[in-house]
Chain A
């Protein structure tokens, strides 16, 4: 019987497909809308491959189960949203410091507080900047489609291993819930337990810890981690540029907001505005190179289009060292900016000469 790799999936499901194709062996999670389909699909698919699925008692437990499984030498994933991610932060800090690889999918919902379950992007700060205690960072990938939910989840596992660090797939309720067609990549061969792991075939007495009582040791650990983050900054920036060749104006937008921004580019181009879109596919590292290039190539005004209270705009300004004005076009609370809204606000700024 013939099988096809062309499928129609929800973004959340695509992350699970990507995980399994990347050889993910364990999933631990706690239900939360709008991320629950990741748990649902994992509950169905992981056991079918003899893989581990556990519904943990809470997000704190699930991230610590992730830590255990990662330490044990397995490829492992968890997923949550907003408030659940907040609960995971303690564990993420331990994992980052112990330099264990893992993948965390954050399907962002409306906040702060209990907020609502509609799509938002306001986990940016808590995910992109570290989020838990101490000076660590996580690699953050931001898919813009269901295809990328699959592809970037697979990439997340590779980057997690390459740098021995937690990697987030930062998405939102809309991309998580929507269906699109995608082409499933080929499954990867098994990733064997790494030499540092607690797999009994690789070591009799490996140990994993994040405690360094001597301030000199802990400082050196911090420096080592930060050298790693510098290397990540240097090598792993991913970005998609649209209509940037002759752009005088540029949107910067990721995830679901980038899709509206791209439609807005089409619309504004029709009106004769030379505008383009820089879409970060990595938020840490932030695509500084592409933004600096945009400045060099003549962009005189940037727009940070985001579904949060100006969280990404800081990074845009830092990337271009405030060389150009950056305006904020945002919606919050679970509202998605419409193309019309983006177009109008862009025109206001352009006409106002700000």
Chain B
């Protein structure tokens, strides 16, 4: 019997499209986000993703007021 392909997720932050409001930081159930040190084009400290552990729940995405600051990527291992 075939096993289901394993799925993992990643939270991409578009550095220059984040306004550093930290709504995503508040929202992430796994505390994978924080505001970074670098200041972006708009003058805000963009959020950064911890690098792993994302469950793709979308809490950060829907909490974020910016159109394209957050992208949740689904990764399928085959």
Q: Do chains A and B touch in the complex (CB under 8 A)?
A: no
B interface vs A, CB < 8 Å? none
A interface vs B, CB < 8 Å? none
